[in-house]
Structure 1
Amino acid sequence: MYYFLGNLSFLEICFTSSIIPKLLSILAFGNHSISFWGCLSQCYFYFLLGSVELLLLAAMSFDRYIAVCYPLRYGAIMTPCLFMNLTLGCWIGGFMDTLIPTLLVSKVWFCKSNIIDHFFCDIEHLLKLACSNTSLIELINLCSSSLVVFGSLVCISISYTYIIIAVTKISKVEKRWKSFSTCGSHLLLVVIIYGSSLFLCMRGITASYLDISKLSAFLTSIVTPLLNPFIYTLRNTQVHNAINQLILGRSLKVQ
Protein backbone atom coordinates (compact mmCIF):
# COMPACT_ATOMS: atom_id res chain seq x y z
CA MET A 1 0.00 0.00 0.00
CA TYR A 2 2.78 2.45 0.88
CA TYR A 3 4.56 1.67 -2.37
CA PHE A 4 1.44 2.68 -4.31
CA LEU A 5 0.94 5.74 -2.11
CA GLY A 6 4.48 6.85 -2.84
CA ASN A 7 3.89 6.50 -6.57
CA LEU A 8 0.57 8.31 -6.27
CA SER A 9 2.21 11.20 -4.42
CA PHE A 10 4.96 11.49 -7.05
CA LEU A 11 2.38 11.29 -9.81
CA GLU A 12 0.27 14.09 -8.38
CA ILE A 13 3.29 16.34 -7.91
CA CYS A 14 4.00 15.93 -11.62
CA PHE A 15 0.29 16.25 -12.45
CA THR A 16 -0.16 19.60 -10.72
CA SER A 17 3.23 20.83 -12.00
CA SER A 18 2.05 20.37 -15.59
CA ILE A 19 -0.50 23.22 -15.39
CA ILE A 20 -0.32 25.06 -12.05
CA PRO A 21 2.94 27.03 -12.71
CA LYS A 22 1.48 28.52 -15.89
CA LEU A 23 -1.82 29.24 -14.12
CA LEU A 24 0.04 31.04 -11.32
CA SER A 25 1.97 33.03 -13.93
CA ILE A 26 -1.32 34.14 -15.47
CA LEU A 27 -2.79 35.15 -12.11
CA ALA A 28 0.35 36.86 -10.77
CA PHE A 29 1.83 38.55 -13.85
CA GLY A 30 -1.01 38.49 -16.38
CA ASN A 31 1.11 36.49 -18.83
CA HIS A 32 -1.60 34.81 -20.91
CA SER A 33 0.60 33.76 -23.83
CA ILE A 34 1.98 30.28 -24.47
CA SER A 35 3.74 28.78 -27.47
CA PHE A 36 1.99 26.19 -29.61
CA TRP A 37 4.40 23.40 -28.68
CA GLY A 38 4.28 24.47 -25.04
CA CYS A 39 0.51 24.29 -25.21
CA LEU A 40 0.63 20.86 -26.85
CA SER A 41 3.14 19.60 -24.27
CA GLN A 42 0.94 20.84 -21.44
CA CYS A 43 -2.05 19.08 -22.98
CA TYR A 44 -0.14 15.83 -23.43
CA PHE A 45 1.34 15.65 -19.93
CA TYR A 46 -1.96 16.61 -18.31
CA PHE A 47 -3.84 13.73 -19.91
CA LEU A 48 -0.86 11.35 -19.67
CA LEU A 49 -0.57 11.81 -15.92
CA GLY A 50 -4.35 11.77 -15.50
CA SER A 51 -4.57 8.44 -17.33
CA VAL A 52 -1.74 6.98 -15.25
CA GLU A 53 -3.52 8.06 -12.08
CA LEU A 54 -6.72 6.26 -13.07
CA LEU A 55 -4.79 3.10 -13.95
CA LEU A 56 -2.88 3.34 -10.66
CA LEU A 57 -6.17 3.48 -8.77
CA ALA A 58 -7.19 0.26 -10.52
CA ALA A 59 -3.89 -1.35 -9.47
CA MET A 60 -4.45 -0.17 -5.90
CA SER A 61 -7.93 -1.73 -5.92
CA PHE A 62 -6.32 -5.06 -6.88
CA ASP A 63 -3.90 -4.62 -3.97
CA ARG A 64 -6.84 -4.05 -1.59
CA TYR A 65 -8.61 -7.09 -3.03
CA ILE A 66 -5.64 -9.34 -2.23
CA ALA A 67 -5.23 -7.78 1.22
CA VAL A 68 -8.86 -8.40 2.18
CA CYS A 69 -9.63 -11.67 0.39
CA TYR A 70 -6.24 -13.39 0.79
CA PRO A 71 -4.59 -11.76 3.84
CA LEU A 72 -2.39 -14.76 4.69
CA ARG A 73 -1.06 -15.00 1.14
CA TYR A 74 -0.67 -11.26 0.62
CA GLY A 75 3.12 -11.26 1.01
CA ALA A 76 3.51 -14.16 -1.40
CA ILE A 77 1.21 -12.68 -4.08
CA MET A 78 2.05 -8.97 -3.89
CA THR A 79 5.79 -9.25 -4.38
CA PRO A 80 8.04 -6.25 -5.13
CA CYS A 81 8.34 -7.51 -8.71
CA LEU A 82 4.57 -7.47 -9.13
CA PHE A 83 4.39 -3.97 -7.64
CA MET A 84 6.93 -2.72 -10.17
CA ASN A 85 5.22 -4.47 -13.08
CA LEU A 86 1.84 -3.01 -12.15
CA THR A 87 3.30 0.49 -11.85
CA LEU A 88 5.20 0.17 -15.12
CA GLY A 89 2.06 -1.10 -16.83
CA CYS A 90 0.17 1.98 -15.60
CA TRP A 91 2.77 4.33 -17.09
CA ILE A 92 2.95 2.47 -20.40
CA GLY A 93 -0.86 2.37 -20.64
CA GLY A 94 -1.14 6.10 -19.98
CA PHE A 95 1.61 6.86 -22.51
CA MET A 96 -0.04 4.83 -25.27
CA ASP A 97 -3.50 6.20 -24.48
CA THR A 98 -2.57 9.87 -24.95
CA LEU A 99 0.11 9.63 -27.62
CA ILE A 100 -2.08 9.16 -30.72
CA PRO A 101 -4.65 11.92 -29.95
CA THR A 102 -1.85 14.39 -29.22
CA LEU A 103 0.00 13.55 -32.44
CA LEU A 104 -3.21 14.03 -34.42
CA VAL A 105 -3.85 17.41 -32.79
CA SER A 106 -0.33 18.53 -33.73
CA LYS A 107 -1.24 18.05 -37.42
CA VAL A 108 -4.42 20.13 -37.27
CA TRP A 109 -4.61 23.44 -39.13
CA PHE A 110 -5.58 26.29 -36.77
CA CYS A 111 -6.78 29.56 -38.27
CA LYS A 112 -9.80 30.82 -36.32
CA SER A 113 -8.29 32.36 -33.20
CA ASN A 114 -5.40 32.03 -30.79
CA ILE A 115 -7.48 32.44 -27.63
CA ILE A 116 -8.31 29.29 -25.63
CA ASP A 117 -11.35 29.52 -23.37
CA HIS A 118 -9.74 27.56 -20.54
CA PHE A 119 -7.07 27.91 -17.85
CA PHE A 120 -4.88 25.29 -19.57
CA CYS A 121 -4.53 23.72 -23.03
CA ASP A 122 -7.34 21.19 -23.24
CA ILE A 123 -7.81 19.11 -26.40
CA GLU A 124 -11.51 19.95 -26.72
CA HIS A 125 -10.87 23.67 -26.52
CA LEU A 126 -7.97 23.45 -28.96
CA LEU A 127 -10.11 21.63 -31.51
CA LYS A 128 -12.67 24.43 -31.36
CA LEU A 129 -10.06 26.69 -32.98
CA ALA A 130 -9.35 24.30 -35.88
CA CYS A 131 -10.42 25.06 -39.44
CA SER A 132 -10.09 21.47 -40.70
CA ASN A 133 -12.44 18.59 -39.95
CA THR A 134 -11.69 17.25 -36.47
CA SER A 135 -14.48 14.68 -36.11
CA LEU A 136 -12.05 11.76 -36.43
CA ILE A 137 -9.73 13.21 -33.78
CA GLU A 138 -12.66 13.80 -31.43
CA LEU A 139 -13.82 10.21 -31.93
CA ILE A 140 -10.33 8.78 -31.28
CA ASN A 141 -9.91 11.02 -28.25
CA LEU A 142 -13.30 9.95 -26.91
CA CYS A 143 -12.50 6.26 -27.40
CA SER A 144 -9.05 6.50 -25.81
CA SER A 145 -10.20 8.44 -22.77
CA SER A 146 -13.28 6.25 -22.32
CA LEU A 147 -11.14 3.13 -22.55
CA VAL A 148 -8.98 4.26 -19.63
CA VAL A 149 -11.78 5.70 -17.50
CA PHE A 150 -14.33 2.93 -17.90
CA GLY A 151 -11.74 0.13 -18.18
CA SER A 152 -10.13 1.06 -14.88
CA LEU A 153 -13.57 1.65 -13.34
CA VAL A 154 -14.62 -1.88 -14.31
CA CYS A 155 -11.48 -3.31 -12.68
CA ILE A 156 -12.16 -1.34 -9.51
CA SER A 157 -15.82 -2.42 -9.48
CA ILE A 158 -14.87 -6.10 -9.83
CA SER A 159 -12.29 -5.83 -7.04
CA TYR A 160 -14.73 -4.19 -4.65
CA THR A 161 -17.45 -6.68 -5.53
CA TYR A 162 -15.20 -9.50 -4.33
CA ILE A 163 -14.16 -7.41 -1.31
CA ILE A 164 -17.77 -6.82 -0.28
CA ILE A 165 -18.59 -10.51 -0.71
CA ALA A 166 -15.59 -11.48 1.42
CA VAL A 167 -16.42 -8.93 4.12
CA THR A 168 -20.06 -10.01 4.38
CA LYS A 169 -18.89 -13.56 5.16
CA ILE A 170 -17.13 -12.38 8.32
CA SER A 171 -19.29 -13.17 11.33
CA LYS A 172 -18.13 -10.50 13.79
CA VAL A 173 -19.15 -6.93 13.02
CA GLU A 174 -15.94 -5.45 14.43
CA LYS A 175 -13.71 -7.59 12.22
CA ARG A 176 -15.99 -6.91 9.26
CA TRP A 177 -15.69 -3.16 9.74
CA LYS A 178 -11.92 -3.37 10.33
CA SER A 179 -11.42 -5.31 7.08
CA PHE A 180 -13.44 -2.89 5.00
CA SER A 181 -11.99 0.21 6.67
CA THR A 182 -8.62 -0.56 5.05
CA CYS A 183 -10.28 0.31 1.73
CA GLY A 184 -11.98 3.49 2.96
CA SER A 185 -9.32 5.98 1.84
CA HIS A 186 -8.93 4.38 -1.57
CA LEU A 187 -12.70 4.20 -2.10
CA LEU A 188 -13.15 7.86 -1.18
CA LEU A 189 -10.40 8.84 -3.60
CA VAL A 190 -12.02 6.78 -6.35
CA VAL A 191 -15.35 8.56 -5.86
CA ILE A 192 -13.74 12.02 -6.02
CA ILE A 193 -11.55 11.37 -9.06
CA TYR A 194 -14.02 9.37 -11.12
CA GLY A 195 -16.84 11.74 -10.29
CA SER A 196 -14.96 14.50 -12.09
CA SER A 197 -13.26 12.33 -14.73
CA LEU A 198 -16.55 11.00 -16.09
CA PHE A 199 -17.41 14.52 -17.21
CA LEU A 200 -14.25 14.58 -19.34
CA CYS A 201 -15.53 11.57 -21.28
CA MET A 202 -18.81 13.32 -22.11
CA ARG A 203 -17.24 15.04 -25.08
CA GLY A 204 -19.18 17.85 -26.70
CA ILE A 205 -18.77 21.40 -27.94
CA THR A 206 -21.73 23.12 -26.28
CA ALA A 207 -21.15 26.06 -23.99
CA SER A 208 -22.61 24.26 -21.00
CA TYR A 209 -20.26 21.32 -21.54
CA LEU A 210 -17.24 23.58 -21.76
CA ASP A 211 -18.16 25.17 -18.42
CA ILE A 212 -18.54 21.71 -16.87
CA SER A 213 -15.18 20.64 -18.28
CA LYS A 214 -13.51 23.64 -16.64
CA LEU A 215 -15.01 22.71 -13.29
CA SER A 216 -14.03 19.07 -13.78
CA ALA A 217 -10.46 20.02 -14.69
CA PHE A 218 -10.29 22.28 -11.64
CA LEU A 219 -11.38 19.42 -9.38
CA THR A 220 -8.94 16.88 -10.84
CA SER A 221 -5.92 19.20 -11.05
CA ILE A 222 -6.23 21.29 -7.88
CA VAL A 223 -8.86 20.09 -5.40
CA THR A 224 -8.17 16.35 -5.57
CA PRO A 225 -4.36 16.57 -5.14
CA LEU A 226 -4.97 18.95 -2.24
CA LEU A 227 -7.34 16.52 -0.51
CA ASN A 228 -5.38 13.31 -1.12
CA PRO A 229 -2.75 13.80 1.64
CA PHE A 230 -5.51 14.45 4.17
CA ILE A 231 -7.59 11.51 2.95
CA TYR A 232 -4.75 9.03 3.39
CA THR A 233 -3.00 10.45 6.46
CA LEU A 234 -6.04 11.20 8.62
CA ARG A 235 -7.36 7.66 8.17
CA ASN A 236 -4.05 5.86 8.61
CA THR A 237 -3.05 4.58 12.06
CA GLN A 238 0.61 4.12 11.14
CA VAL A 239 0.85 7.73 9.94
CA HIS A 240 -0.83 8.90 13.16
CA ASN A 241 1.76 7.03 15.22
CA ALA A 242 4.64 8.40 13.16
CA ILE A 243 3.36 11.98 13.55
CA ASN A 244 2.88 11.50 17.30
CA GLN A 245 6.42 10.14 17.66
CA LEU A 246 7.79 13.04 15.62
CA ILE A 247 5.94 15.63 17.72
CA LEU A 248 6.87 13.89 20.97
CA GLY A 249 10.50 13.60 19.91
CA ARG A 250 10.71 17.28 19.06
CA SER A 251 9.02 18.29 22.28
CA LEU A 252 11.52 16.23 24.30
CA LYS A 253 14.42 17.90 22.50
CA VAL A 254 13.07 21.35 23.26
CA GLN A 255 12.69 20.54 26.93
Structure 2
Amino acid sequence: MENSLQVANMTRVQQFVLLGLSTKPDIRDALFVVFLALYLLTLLENSLIIYLIGSHRELHKPMYFFLGNLSCLEMCYVSVTMPSLLVGLWTGLYHISFVACMTQLFFFIVLVGTECILLASMAYDRYVAICRPLHYPLLMRPQVCQALALSSWLGGLVVSLVKTTCIATLTYCGPNVLNHFFCDVAPLLDLSCTHVALTELVDFISAIVILWGCLILTMVSYVFIGVTVFHMPSAAARHKAFSTCASHLVVVGIFYSATIFIYARPRHIEAMDLNKMLSVIYTVVTPMCNPVIYCLRNKEFQAAFLKTWHWSSC
Protein backbone atom coordinates (compact mmCIF):
# COMPACT_ATOMS: atom_id res chain seq x y z
CA MET A 1 0.00 0.00 0.00
CA GLU A 2 2.81 2.39 0.93
CA ASN A 3 4.70 1.62 -2.29
CA SER A 4 1.55 2.30 -4.31
CA LEU A 5 1.14 5.69 -2.66
CA GLN A 6 4.78 6.53 -3.36
CA VAL A 7 4.38 5.71 -7.05
CA ALA A 8 1.14 7.70 -7.21
CA ASN A 9 2.84 10.73 -5.71
CA MET A 10 5.72 10.65 -8.22
CA THR A 11 5.67 13.10 -11.08
CA ARG A 12 4.93 11.41 -14.37
CA VAL A 13 7.52 12.05 -17.07
CA GLN A 14 6.16 14.52 -19.67
CA GLN A 15 9.03 14.20 -22.13
CA PHE A 16 12.00 12.01 -22.91
CA VAL A 17 15.55 12.89 -23.93
CA LEU A 18 17.05 10.80 -26.74
CA LEU A 19 20.84 10.54 -26.52
CA GLY A 20 20.98 9.76 -30.23
CA LEU A 21 23.30 7.55 -32.21
CA SER A 22 26.45 9.24 -30.89
CA THR A 23 27.25 11.71 -28.13
CA LYS A 24 30.65 12.65 -29.60
CA PRO A 25 30.46 16.12 -31.21
CA ASP A 26 33.47 15.52 -33.44
CA ILE A 27 31.77 12.74 -35.42
CA ARG A 28 28.14 13.86 -35.29
CA ASP A 29 28.50 16.26 -38.23
CA ALA A 30 29.97 13.56 -40.45
CA LEU A 31 27.30 11.07 -39.39
CA PHE A 32 24.58 13.65 -40.09
CA VAL A 33 25.75 14.06 -43.70
CA VAL A 34 26.02 10.28 -44.17
CA PHE A 35 22.59 9.46 -42.77
CA LEU A 36 20.89 12.36 -44.53
CA ALA A 37 22.30 11.04 -47.81
CA LEU A 38 21.12 7.51 -46.94
CA TYR A 39 17.65 8.82 -46.07
CA LEU A 40 17.26 10.68 -49.36
CA LEU A 41 18.69 7.74 -51.32
CA THR A 42 16.25 5.33 -49.65
CA LEU A 43 13.28 7.55 -50.50
CA LEU A 44 14.48 7.89 -54.09
CA GLU A 45 15.10 4.16 -54.61
CA ASN A 46 11.78 3.03 -53.19
CA SER A 47 9.84 5.80 -54.95
CA LEU A 48 11.38 4.66 -58.23
CA ILE A 49 10.32 1.05 -57.60
CA ILE A 50 6.73 2.10 -56.83
CA TYR A 51 6.65 4.28 -59.94
CA LEU A 52 8.02 1.53 -62.20
CA ILE A 53 5.59 -1.06 -60.86
CA GLY A 54 2.64 1.29 -61.27
CA SER A 55 3.55 2.54 -64.75
CA HIS A 56 4.60 -0.67 -66.52
CA ARG A 57 2.00 -3.35 -67.21
CA GLU A 58 4.63 -6.08 -67.51
CA LEU A 59 5.34 -5.54 -63.79
CA HIS A 60 1.70 -6.00 -62.79
CA LYS A 61 2.40 -9.40 -61.26
CA PRO A 62 1.94 -10.72 -57.70
CA MET A 63 5.69 -10.69 -56.95
CA TYR A 64 5.99 -7.02 -57.91
CA PHE A 65 2.74 -6.14 -56.16
CA PHE A 66 4.24 -7.36 -52.87
CA LEU A 67 7.52 -5.64 -53.70
CA GLY A 68 5.63 -2.38 -54.18
CA ASN A 69 4.06 -2.81 -50.75
CA LEU A 70 7.49 -3.53 -49.29
CA SER A 71 8.91 -0.36 -50.86
CA CYS A 72 6.03 1.69 -49.44
CA LEU A 73 6.71 0.14 -46.04
CA GLU A 74 10.43 0.90 -46.25
CA MET A 75 9.72 4.56 -47.01
CA CYS A 76 7.49 4.70 -43.94
CA TYR A 77 10.18 2.94 -41.89
CA VAL A 78 12.86 5.53 -42.54
CA SER A 79 10.39 8.40 -42.20
CA VAL A 80 9.44 7.22 -38.70
CA THR A 81 12.95 6.76 -37.32
CA MET A 82 15.37 8.85 -39.41
CA PRO A 83 14.08 12.35 -38.56
CA SER A 84 14.77 11.88 -34.84
CA LEU A 85 18.15 10.31 -35.65
CA LEU A 86 19.09 13.31 -37.82
CA VAL A 87 17.85 15.85 -35.28
CA GLY A 88 19.86 14.09 -32.57
CA LEU A 89 23.00 14.22 -34.69
CA TRP A 90 22.38 17.91 -35.45
CA THR A 91 21.53 19.11 -31.94
CA GLY A 92 23.26 16.52 -29.74
CA LEU A 93 20.21 15.77 -27.59
CA TYR A 94 16.68 15.38 -28.86
CA HIS A 95 13.75 16.20 -26.56
CA ILE A 96 10.53 14.42 -27.46
CA SER A 97 7.18 14.66 -25.67
CA PHE A 98 5.57 11.60 -24.11
CA VAL A 99 2.74 11.63 -26.67
CA ALA A 100 5.13 12.04 -29.61
CA CYS A 101 7.31 9.23 -28.27
CA MET A 102 4.38 6.84 -27.98
CA THR A 103 3.17 7.85 -31.44
CA GLN A 104 6.59 7.08 -32.92
CA LEU A 105 6.66 3.76 -31.06
CA PHE A 106 3.17 2.90 -32.35
CA PHE A 107 4.04 3.44 -36.01
CA PHE A 108 7.38 1.69 -35.62
CA ILE A 109 5.78 -1.46 -34.19
CA VAL A 110 3.12 -1.35 -36.93
CA LEU A 111 5.86 -1.41 -39.55
CA VAL A 112 7.87 -4.19 -37.88
CA GLY A 113 4.80 -6.41 -37.63
CA THR A 114 3.70 -5.58 -41.16
CA GLU A 115 7.11 -6.42 -42.62
CA CYS A 116 7.17 -9.80 -40.86
CA ILE A 117 3.81 -10.80 -42.33
CA LEU A 118 4.61 -9.27 -45.73
CA LEU A 119 7.88 -11.22 -46.02
CA ALA A 120 5.96 -14.41 -45.17
CA SER A 121 3.40 -13.56 -47.88
CA MET A 122 6.21 -13.08 -50.39
CA ALA A 123 7.65 -16.48 -49.43
CA TYR A 124 4.22 -18.04 -50.03
CA ASP A 125 4.11 -16.36 -53.44
CA ARG A 126 7.47 -17.95 -54.35
CA TYR A 127 6.25 -21.32 -53.02
CA VAL A 128 3.18 -21.27 -55.26
CA ALA A 129 5.20 -20.07 -58.28
CA ILE A 130 7.78 -22.87 -58.00
CA CYS A 131 5.92 -25.75 -56.36
CA ARG A 132 2.46 -25.28 -57.90
CA PRO A 133 3.04 -23.32 -61.12
CA LEU A 134 -0.10 -24.60 -62.88
CA HIS A 135 -2.29 -23.28 -60.04
CA TYR A 136 -0.39 -19.97 -59.71
CA PRO A 137 -2.90 -17.79 -61.66
CA LEU A 138 -5.70 -19.06 -59.40
CA LEU A 139 -3.94 -19.16 -56.04
CA MET A 140 -2.27 -15.78 -56.53
CA ARG A 141 -5.10 -13.94 -58.29
CA PRO A 142 -5.39 -10.19 -57.56
CA GLN A 143 -8.02 -10.65 -54.84
CA VAL A 144 -5.75 -13.05 -52.92
CA CYS A 145 -2.73 -10.75 -53.24
CA GLN A 146 -4.75 -7.78 -52.01
CA ALA A 147 -6.08 -9.81 -49.08
CA LEU A 148 -2.55 -10.91 -48.10
CA ALA A 149 -1.23 -7.35 -48.29
CA LEU A 150 -4.18 -5.97 -46.30
CA SER A 151 -3.74 -8.71 -43.69
CA SER A 152 -0.08 -7.71 -43.34
CA TRP A 153 -0.92 -4.09 -42.57
CA LEU A 154 -3.87 -4.97 -40.31
CA GLY A 155 -1.79 -7.56 -38.44
CA GLY A 156 0.90 -5.00 -37.73
CA LEU A 157 -1.75 -2.50 -36.62
CA VAL A 158 -3.37 -4.90 -34.15
CA VAL A 159 -0.05 -5.95 -32.61
CA SER A 160 1.05 -2.33 -32.28
CA LEU A 161 -2.21 -1.27 -30.63
CA VAL A 162 -1.79 -3.92 -27.94
CA LYS A 163 1.94 -3.39 -27.32
CA THR A 164 1.86 0.42 -27.43
CA THR A 165 -1.14 0.54 -25.07
CA CYS A 166 0.70 -1.64 -22.55
CA ILE A 167 3.84 0.48 -22.72
CA ALA A 168 2.00 3.82 -22.65
CA THR A 169 0.06 2.87 -19.52
CA LEU A 170 3.24 2.16 -17.54
CA THR A 171 4.38 4.83 -15.10
CA TYR A 172 7.56 6.75 -15.93
CA CYS A 173 8.82 8.76 -12.97
CA GLY A 174 12.40 9.50 -14.04
CA PRO A 175 15.07 9.44 -15.18
CA ASN A 176 13.79 10.30 -18.63
CA VAL A 177 16.92 9.72 -20.76
CA LEU A 178 16.65 7.10 -23.52
CA ASN A 179 19.96 5.74 -24.76
CA HIS A 180 18.66 5.41 -28.31
CA PHE A 181 17.94 7.48 -31.41
CA PHE A 182 14.19 6.77 -31.39
CA CYS A 183 11.53 5.56 -28.95
CA ASP A 184 11.98 1.80 -28.87
CA VAL A 185 10.51 -0.89 -26.63
CA ALA A 186 13.57 -1.98 -24.63
CA PRO A 187 14.84 1.47 -23.50
CA LEU A 188 11.30 2.51 -22.54
CA LEU A 189 10.82 -0.59 -20.40
CA ASP A 190 14.12 0.15 -18.70
CA LEU A 191 12.82 3.59 -17.63
CA SER A 192 9.51 2.42 -16.20
CA CYS A 193 9.21 2.65 -12.42
CA THR A 194 6.29 0.23 -12.22
CA HIS A 195 6.09 -3.55 -12.60
CA VAL A 196 6.58 -4.46 -16.28
CA ALA A 197 6.03 -8.24 -16.11
CA LEU A 198 2.68 -8.07 -17.95
CA THR A 199 4.10 -5.78 -20.63
CA GLU A 200 7.10 -8.05 -21.11
CA LEU A 201 4.75 -11.04 -21.37
CA VAL A 202 2.76 -9.25 -24.10
CA ASP A 203 6.03 -8.39 -25.83
CA PHE A 204 7.15 -12.02 -25.64
CA ILE A 205 3.85 -13.42 -26.93
CA SER A 206 3.77 -10.97 -29.83
CA ALA A 207 7.35 -11.95 -30.69
CA ILE A 208 6.33 -15.61 -30.73
CA VAL A 209 3.24 -15.00 -32.86
CA ILE A 210 4.62 -12.43 -35.30
CA LEU A 211 8.40 -12.85 -35.46
CA TRP A 212 8.78 -16.56 -34.93
CA GLY A 213 5.42 -17.47 -36.48
CA CYS A 214 6.14 -15.62 -39.73
CA LEU A 215 9.74 -16.86 -39.80
CA ILE A 216 8.59 -20.48 -39.41
CA LEU A 217 6.04 -20.04 -42.23
CA THR A 218 8.76 -18.52 -44.41
CA MET A 219 11.20 -21.34 -43.68
CA VAL A 220 8.56 -24.03 -44.29
CA SER A 221 7.82 -22.45 -47.67
CA TYR A 222 11.51 -22.58 -48.55
CA VAL A 223 11.84 -26.20 -47.43
CA PHE A 224 9.16 -27.15 -49.98
CA ILE A 225 10.82 -24.89 -52.56
CA GLY A 226 14.19 -26.53 -51.91
CA VAL A 227 12.76 -30.03 -52.33
CA THR A 228 11.05 -29.02 -55.57
CA VAL A 229 14.16 -27.32 -56.96
CA PHE A 230 16.33 -30.33 -56.04
CA HIS A 231 14.11 -32.62 -58.12
CA MET A 232 14.12 -30.39 -61.20
CA PRO A 233 15.64 -32.23 -64.19
CA SER A 234 18.05 -29.56 -65.50
CA ALA A 235 20.64 -27.31 -63.89
CA ALA A 236 19.27 -24.35 -65.86
CA ALA A 237 15.80 -24.85 -64.38
CA ARG A 238 17.24 -25.14 -60.87
CA HIS A 239 19.29 -21.98 -61.33
CA LYS A 240 16.30 -20.03 -62.66
CA ALA A 241 14.08 -21.15 -59.78
CA PHE A 242 16.71 -20.37 -57.16
CA SER A 243 17.46 -16.94 -58.64
CA THR A 244 13.82 -15.90 -58.14
CA CYS A 245 14.16 -16.65 -54.40
CA ALA A 246 17.72 -15.55 -53.64
CA SER A 247 16.90 -11.86 -53.18
CA HIS A 248 14.04 -12.59 -50.82
CA LEU A 249 16.18 -14.97 -48.76
CA VAL A 250 18.89 -12.32 -48.36
CA VAL A 251 16.34 -9.72 -47.19
CA VAL A 252 14.74 -12.19 -44.77
CA GLY A 253 18.14 -13.10 -43.34
CA ILE A 254 19.20 -9.49 -42.75
CA PHE A 255 15.86 -8.42 -41.27
CA TYR A 256 15.34 -11.35 -38.91
CA SER A 257 18.96 -11.55 -37.74
CA ALA A 258 18.76 -8.11 -36.15
CA THR A 259 15.08 -8.11 -35.19
CA ILE A 260 14.98 -11.45 -33.40
CA PHE A 261 18.13 -10.63 -31.42
CA ILE A 262 16.48 -7.52 -30.02
CA TYR A 263 12.79 -8.39 -29.70
CA ALA A 264 12.44 -12.13 -29.28
CA ARG A 265 13.51 -12.17 -25.62
CA PRO A 266 11.14 -10.89 -22.88
CA ARG A 267 13.76 -9.07 -20.85
CA HIS A 268 15.65 -5.78 -20.78
CA ILE A 269 18.61 -5.50 -23.13
CA GLU A 270 21.56 -4.10 -21.24
CA ALA A 271 23.91 -3.62 -24.22
CA MET A 272 22.07 -0.56 -25.50
CA ASP A 273 24.95 0.55 -27.73
CA LEU A 274 24.75 -2.83 -29.48
CA ASN A 275 20.98 -2.39 -29.58
CA LYS A 276 21.41 0.93 -31.38
CA MET A 277 23.84 -0.51 -33.91
CA LEU A 278 21.50 -3.39 -34.72
CA SER A 279 18.58 -0.96 -34.96
CA VAL A 280 20.52 0.96 -37.62
CA ILE A 281 20.66 -2.24 -39.70
CA TYR A 282 16.91 -2.76 -40.01
CA THR A 283 15.79 0.88 -39.81
CA VAL A 284 18.39 2.43 -42.14
CA VAL A 285 20.54 -0.12 -43.96
CA THR A 286 17.83 -2.65 -44.89
CA PRO A 287 15.37 -0.12 -46.39
CA MET A 288 18.22 1.31 -48.47
CA CYS A 289 19.58 -2.06 -49.63
CA ASN A 290 16.29 -3.85 -50.36
CA PRO A 291 15.66 -2.07 -53.69
CA VAL A 292 19.20 -2.89 -54.82
CA ILE A 293 18.96 -6.52 -53.68
CA TYR A 294 15.61 -7.09 -55.41
CA CYS A 295 16.18 -5.12 -58.60
CA LEU A 296 19.88 -5.26 -59.45
CA ARG A 297 19.69 -8.66 -61.17
CA ASN A 298 16.03 -8.51 -62.16
CA LYS A 299 15.84 -8.26 -65.95
CA GLU A 300 12.21 -7.10 -65.98
CA PHE A 301 13.03 -4.22 -63.67
CA GLN A 302 16.10 -3.36 -65.69
CA ALA A 303 14.05 -3.30 -68.90
CA ALA A 304 11.35 -1.13 -67.28
CA PHE A 305 13.95 1.29 -65.95
CA LEU A 306 15.70 1.58 -69.33
CA LYS A 307 12.35 2.15 -71.04
CA THR A 308 11.48 4.90 -68.55
CA TRP A 309 14.94 6.44 -68.96
CA HIS A 310 14.51 6.41 -72.75
CA TRP A 311 11.11 8.13 -72.49
CA SER A 312 12.48 10.83 -70.18
CA SER A 313 15.43 11.43 -72.53
CA CYS A 314 13.24 11.94 -75.61
Pick from 58, 71, 83: which aligns with 2:133? 71
State the TM-score, normalized to the length of structure 1. Answer: 0.93
Q: Which runs of 5+ in 2 are unaligned?
A: 1-62
Other-structure match for 1:163? 225
Other-structure match for 2:198? 136
Q: Which moved more, 1:238-247 or 1:108-117?
A: 238-247
Other-structure match for 1:126? 188
Q: Does 1:204 align with 2:267?
A: yes
Given that 1:199 and 1:212 are in contact with CA atoms closer than 8 Å, whether structure 2 keeps it comes out as no
Other-structure match for 2:280? 218
Deviation, structure 1 residue 220: 0.7
Q: Percent identity?
A: 37
Hey, what's the Cα distance between the residues in 1 that align with 2:268 and 2:159? 22
Deviations 1:115-142 (A, max 9, x none): 1111111121112111111122112112
Hey, what's the Cα distance between the residues in 2 that align with 1:22 and 1:197? 20
Deviation, structure 1 residue 204: 3.1
Other-structure match for 1:115? 177
Deviations 1:167-197 (A, max 9, x none): 1111111111111211111111111111111
Hey, what's the Cα distance between the residues in 1 that align with 2:294 and 2:102? 33
User: What is the correspondence of 1:1-255 to structure 2 with a 5 Å cutoff?
Assistant: 1-30=63-92, 32-200=94-262, 201-208=264-271, 210-249=272-311, 253=314
Matched length: 251
Amino acid at match of 1:204: R
Amino acid at match of 2:229: V
Amino acid at match of 1:92: L
Hey, what's the Cα distance between the residues in 2 that align with 1:133 and 1:250? 60
Q: Which runs of 5+ in 1 are unaligned?
A: none
Deviations 1:26-78 (A, max 9, x none): 22244510000100111111111011001100000000001111222211211
Deviations 1:53-109 (A, max 9, x none): 011000000000011112222112111100111111111211121211211111111
Amino acid at match of 1:184: A
Amino acid at match of 1:114: N
Given that 1:55 and 1:90 are in contact with CA atoms closer than 8 Å, whether structure 2 keeps it comes out as yes
State the TM-score, normalized to the length of structure 2. Answer: 0.76
Amino acid at match of 1:41: T
Specify which structure has the bigger relative contact order, considering alpha-carbon pairs within 8 angstroms and separated by 6 or more residues. 2
> Secondary structure in 2 aligned to 1:33?
strand
What RMSD over aligned residues (CA atoms) do the two structures have, in Å? Answer: 1.5
Deviations 1:12-31 (A, max 9, x none): 11111111112212222445
